Amino acid sequence: MKTFCHCNNHYGLENSSIILFMQNIQRNCGYLPEDELKRLADNTGTPLMDIYSIATFYKSFKLEPQGEHTITVCTGTACHLRGSGEVFEEMAAVLGVGSGGGTSEDGKYTLEKVNCLGACALAPLIVIDGHYHGNVTPGKAREMIEEHYK
Amino acid sequence: MSKVKVTIDGREVEVPAGSTIYEAAQQVGVEIPTFCYDPELTRVGACRICVVEVEKARALVASCAAPVGDGMVVHTESERVVKARKNILRLILGNHPLECMTCQKTGDCKLQDYCYYYGVNEAGFEGEVKELELDDTNPFIRRDMNKCLLCGKCVRKCEEINGATAIDFMNRGFISNVGPAFDDPLEESPCVFCGLCVDVCPVGALLPRESIGKGRPWQVEKKEVVCPYCGVGCSINLHIKDGEVIDASAVEDSPVNRGHLCTKGRFGWDFLQSEERLTSPLVKQNGVFVETGWEEALQEVAKRLTEVRQKYGNDALAGLSSAKVTNEENYLFQKFIRELGTNNVDHCARLCHSPTLAGMEKAFGIAGMTNTIEEITGAGVILVIGSNTTETHPVVSYRVKEAVNNGAGLIVVDPRETRLAVEADSFLQVRPGTDVALLNGLAHLIIKEDLVDQKFIEEKTEGFEELKKTLDGYTPEYVEKITGVPAGELREAARLFGAAEKGSILYTMGITSHTSGTNNVLSVCNLAMLTGNIGEESTGVNSLCGQNNVQGACDMGALPDKLAGEHSIEEKDTGLTAVEMMKAAAEGEVKAMYIMGENPLLSEPHLEHVQEAMEKLDFLVVQDIFLSETAQKADVVLPAAAFAEKDGTYTNTERRVQLSRAAVAAPGEARADWEILCGLANKLGMNWDFSSPEEIMKEIASRNPNYAGINYQRLEESKGLQWPCPDLGHAGTPVLHREGFARGRGKFHPVEYAPPSEETDSYYPLWLTTGRHIFHYHTSTMTGRSRGLGSHVPEEMVQVNPEDASRLDISGGDTVEVASRRGKLNARADLTDMVPPGTVFMTFHSSELAVNFLTSDEMDAEAKVPELKVCAVNVRKAEQSH
């Protein structure tokens, strides 16, 4: 696994680059492992507490291991009105995660909500591993996952 | 500075431009409520309770952060303001447990006060409330974050004042919270439990654990005392209810600590109430201590001391005074010993401060920290050498931190990567015991790069040419060979120090406790004079004293070669120093010892030898507050009153004489040391008639010219006086050598590097250096009996670099045998990069793992300080059976 040290050369050990380091760690590890953050603190001389504060402030930073695939359901106004809630519920049921989202037991999928992706014409919208899928219905969503599992 | 005119609640006031509305309001005596405001912290304007109405402004503004404008008209209690404040309070109450009946904060709670003032008693909002777990795992602070209103003062104190940065905000929105990383308990964070956060918490979210349930604020009387721990000499308010201390807080207007404390001062007072306190005199009969009355005990001591004197002569007596007791008591102790006809009196300054006395006297004429603690904040560059300031003098480290925040450069010289080293611009990781070479190297470069203060050297010093000759050879490359510090790093440090307008040097036992201790001090003095950093504010040679009254005990003449006031004794009459006493006792020359408030059976080097010496004594009397390791060996033990139980003065590291008054009664039959000494003196026919410490101070003032202008009335009226204070009209001397040096000209002393008293070899290949950690004090006689401090870091471990560990096949937590040429012990290994490869570290706090069994009693020729800081050891994995 590529770790923090890997990205040293890119940015130099500057305190101000801390978010870049964290993004890099997340890109490489899929989330921000505690050990990596401690190493980052040691190597940059930034208090661990500051790093943790940043990590919990930004929703896009994850402190828990994520599934192999990430499914994001848009819950913006347009998506909401066109049934994104039902889509989310259906997917949560299929993946066996709670109503707030989370990672499936087999570690394959992480389901999460996002406030608005700005592609309201496609509502309701979901994103699987960076690929956008518009006009989703609960049924379609189920199919997509089942398809994916094959 | 330009001024602006503002009108606040109808009152006009002129304030400097840039002041905040809050500051302007304070000037006209208008109180504005605040939660998140603290004058010494960054303004964040987070809580909004301080909002005020400014005419012509659209919205209400946060007065703590908004600057005044010329002609501004402010209303602090308008209808709109009151409505907003009530809403803020309601919003807070909506998510704040209303446990005021049992909350420790009741009566001292800002939320409660403001709700009372504005008549808010319910939220009127219903919704989700926080349900966070109570953090009650550490012995100092109870955290109930459900009560937190997120003002963030604790976060800023921790980061901006202490520098530990243990806590911060986490998460966002409703689930925002304050705490350590990963929401761990405080115990597992970098928190050093200074309690600054507790003292600024406006509500009951952070509470001092020991005090909970013990008393309400209105039942408590606050009495000011001087902290009994380190040489900083912080002022503490003891919170007393029914004659018992239940809490402590920093004194806000103390010039020394201005509202700050460390964990020991804040939470370490409870040894006063320990059940182990000595409450009655003890006389050993058939090897067992028996409680007796004072009359009987003093009679016994007088009889036995007289017997020894008659049989072996006066010089068969020796006394150890104490840097823990007052000036008055030190003065009496040395007077007592000297009236018995011997100069064999010394105290633990021998182990730390004595090279400073010897070195500074030679270089400057008088010895003492040249500047004040507060001045550190104004330095342009700070050189910290041989001082783990963060742990040994925490409040001084806050000042260093403040200076660095103000833009000062920081150079740290230490074998260990201390916390200051981590923050330093330049960290020179020296091999233990090579400081002279390093300091000479810095001086060499400063001369070579023409960073010297030529004018200062010509006008105020002598001996520069001789120094220059000696320094010639100390090229960075040569110095690198000795010290292990890369030449380039030395160059950078020299430039940083040499270029600064005001350079302040701080040092502690890392400089003094060496066979080269006096030479180390002389090299420090050379460096300061070379750069003209003496006699001006925010400069100087600043020796940080270990104990709270090291400086005072020295000033009082509790030394074998000096009377009070630096009156030297003829060399032939000089008495024995501390280490020499032990050697003389072992050889049967010293037969009886009187030890007051010291614990040589843990603090002296080469302990096995000290134990033998103690065993050989005919008579040992120990005066202490606890049955210390040394007291256990005594024939008679005299129970003493502790710091908060008696009147007296202490002289802190910056030469500030401070008066500390009795706040509580001593337990049982325990008496103040001065009373015991008077009683004993009179049993021996000395006819002393001191009836109070104040009277003793009068005699001190008549003997020590530096104290001539000091009396209790003046001390009472001031916040302490810094000596020299030669007459009653003198305001004291914050900066020494301002008008030239006490000896006329400052003298450069060329000193050559000499290796430590012992070398590493194939049998003992590693260096051992010793020191302290923040939660304990010295032999932990006091801290070990504090519930919090005593339990927080229970196990003494030996720090080993992971590189050495892997070579020696040692894993973290393994039990290892540490052996020197004098002794060995088994300790668990703590693998850490804090120590460099080739060096291991232990503290000298533990009695179970007394590191001084390993250390060497080789001494500095001049100051007779033993080399506690460096010896050669072997470390190996211990046998399984251990």
Strand-pair partners of A102: A111
Name the least confident of A56-60, B71-75, B839-843: A56-60
A15 touches chain B (CB under 8 A): no
Which residue in chain B is spatially nearest to A43 when comparing CA positions? B422
Which CATH class for the B354-543 domain? alpha beta
**Residue listed under structure tokens 């100087």:** B540
Residue B125's CB: how many other CB atoms inside 10 A? 11
Measured in whole angstroms, the distance separating CA B570 from the mean position of its chain's CA atoms is 34
Q: B186 and B195 in contact (C-beta within 8 Å)?
A: no
Cα–Cα distance, B268 to B272 (Å, whole number): 9
Phi, psi (deg, nearest 5) at residue B208: -75, 120
Give the pLDDT score at A14.
60
Q: If you measure CA to CA, which chain A residue comes closest to B170?
A: A53
- Amino acid sitting at position B378: G
Give residue A150's pLDDT.
57
* Pick from B166, B172, B422: CB nearest A45: B422
C-alpha B104 chain-centroid distance: 29
Closest-CA distance, A67 to chain B, in angstroms, reads 21
User: pLDDT band for position B244 (50/70/90)?
Assistant: very high
Interface test with B, best of A50, A54, A56, A115 (most B CBs within 10 A): A56
Residue B416 CA, distance from chain mean position: 19
**Positions of CATH 3.40.228.10 in chain B:** 354-543
Per-residue model confidence as pLDDT tens digits over B721-758: 999 999 999 999 999 999 889 889 999 999 999 999 99
Q: What 3 state SS string does B603-625 have?
A: HCCCHHHHHHHHHHCCEEEEEEC
- Output the pLDDT for position A4: 43
What is the structure's pLDDT at B882? 44
d(Cα A57, Cα B148) in Å, to the nearest integer? 18
Structure tokens at A86: 């039902």
> What pLDDT sits at residue A10?
47
Q: Say whether pLDDT at B352 is over 50.
A: yes
- Answer yes or no: do A49 and B190 touch at CB < 8 A: yes
Distance from C-alpha of B852 to C-alpha of B778, rounded to nearest angstrom: 12
SS (H, E, C) B560-590: CCEECCCEECCHHHCCCCHHHHHHHHHCCCC
Go through chain A and tell me how many residues it has. Answer: 150
Provide the whole-model pTM. Answer: 0.92
Of B169, B189, B423, the CB nearest to A53: B169
> In terms of DSSP bridges, do strands B461-462 and B244-250 run parallel, antiparallel, or are they unpaired?
unpaired
Q: Which residues are within 8 A (CB) of B762 and not within 5 positions of it... i.e. 6 or more apart?
A: none
pLDDT above 80 (res A6): no
Report CA-CA distances (Å) from B459 to B37, B105, B453, B522, B576: 49, 60, 10, 20, 39
User: In 3-state terms, chain A is what percent helix, strand and coil (to 5)?
Assistant: 50, 15, 35
Query: Using one digit for the tens of pLDDT, what is the confidence trace for B76-119?
Result: 999 999 999 999 999 999 999 999 999 999 999 999 999 999 99
Distinct helix (H) and strand (E) counts, chain A: 7, 5
Confidence of residue B652 (pLDDT cuts 50, 70, 90): very high
What percent of chain A is modeled with pLDDT above 90?
A: 48
Q: Measured between beta carbons, which residues in chain B are less than 8 angstroms from residue A18?
A: none
Which fold is adopted by the domain B290-346+556-722?
Rossmann fold (3.40.50)
CA distance A42 to chain B (A): 10
Percent with pLDDT over 90 in chain B: 87
Of B690, B868, B716, nearest to B779 by C-alpha is B868
Residues 6+ apart with CB under 8 A from B566: B361, B366, B367, B555, B704, B706
pLDDT band at A8 (very low <50, low <70, confident <90, very high): very low
CA atoms within 13 A on the CB side of B571: 1
Task: Give phi and psi for B703, each to the nearest 5.
Answer: -100, -40
In whole angstroms, what is the distance from residue B646 CA to residue B660 CA?
8
Are residues B182 and A52, on separate chains, in Cβ contact within 8 Å? yes
- From chain B, the residues in CB contact with A53 under 8 A are 168-170
pLDDT of B565 higher than 90: no
Which architecture does CATH list for B3-77? Roll (3.10)
Q: Which residues from chain A sit within 8 angstroms of residue B189, using beta carbons?
A: 49
Q: In whole angstroms, what is the distance from residue B473 CA to residue B795 CA? A: 45
Query: Which of the given ranges, A126-130, B171-175, B275-279, has the highest pLDDT on average?
Result: B275-279
Residue of chain B whose Cα is closest to the Cα of A62:
B171
Contacts of A48 in chain B (CB under 8 A): 181, 190
ipTM, two decimals, is: 0.81
Over 90: is that where the pLDDT of B789 sits?
no
Residues of chain B with CATH 3.10.20.740: 3-77
CB atoms within 10 A of CB A11: 14
Interface subset of A 85-124, CB within 8 angstroms of B:
none
Q: Which helix (H) or strand (E) holds B307?
A: helix B294-312
Distance CA B36, CA B25 (A): 17
Give the count of beta carbons closer than 10 Å to the beta carbon of residue B567: 11
Residue B653 has pLDDT above 60, yes or no: yes
A 10 A CB-CB count for B154 gives 25
In tens, the pLDDT along B413-464 reads: 999 999 999 889 999 999 999 999 999 999 999 999 999 999 999 999 999 9
Of all residues in chain B, the percent with pLDDT exceeding 70 is 99
- CB B815 within 8 Å of CB B809: no
B457-478 pLDDT, tens per residue?
A: 999 999 999 999 999 999 999 9
Looking at B617-726, list the stretches that DSSP marks H as alpha helix, in order from N- to C-terminal side: 673-683, 693-703, 712-717
Q: B658-715: per-residue pLDDT in tens?
A: 999 999 999 999 999 999 999 999 999 999 999 999 999 999 999 999 999 999 999 9
CA-to-CA separations, B309 to B303, B610, B621, B636, in angstroms, rounded: 10, 22, 15, 17
Interface of B with A (CB under 8 A): 159, 165-172, 180-182, 189-190, 422-423
All CATH 2.40.40.20 domain ranges of chain B, comma separated, are 766-877
Q: What is the pLDDT of residues B11-24, one digit of tens each?
A: 999 999 999 999 99
Structure tokens at B522: 């002389």
List, in sequence order, every residue forming a beta bridge with B805; answer none if it has no partner.
none
> Nearest-CA distance from B834 to chain A in Å?
12
Bond preceding residue B486 cis, omega within 30 of 0:
no
The single-letter DSSP state of residue B630 is T
Q: Which fold has domain B766-877?
A: Barwin-like endoglucanases (2.40.40)
CATH 3.40.50.740 maps onto chain B at: 290-346+556-722
Q: Which of A37, A49, A56 sits opposite B171 (nearest CB)?
A: A56
| Cβ-contact B826, B815 below 8 angstroms | yes
Q: Which residues of A touch B172 (CB under 8 A)?
A: 56-57, 59
* CB-CB under 8 Å, A56 with B172: yes
Q: How far does A52 lie from chain B, in Å, by closest CA?
A: 5
Q: How confident is the model at residue B522 (pLDDT cuts 50, 70, 90)?
A: very high
Lowest mean pLDDT among A31-45, A86-100, B779-793: B779-793
Separation of alpha carbons B392 and B565, rounded Å: 28
Residue B369 CA, distance from chain mean position:
14
* 3 state DSSP class of B730: coil
Asked whether B280 and B590 are in contact (CB, 8 A), the reply is no
* pLDDT (tens digit per residue) in B628-649: 999 999 999 999 999 999 999 9
Contact B677, B271 (CB under 8 A): no
φ/ψ of B476, rounded to 5, equals -55, -35
For residue B439, give the H/E element and its range. helix B435-448
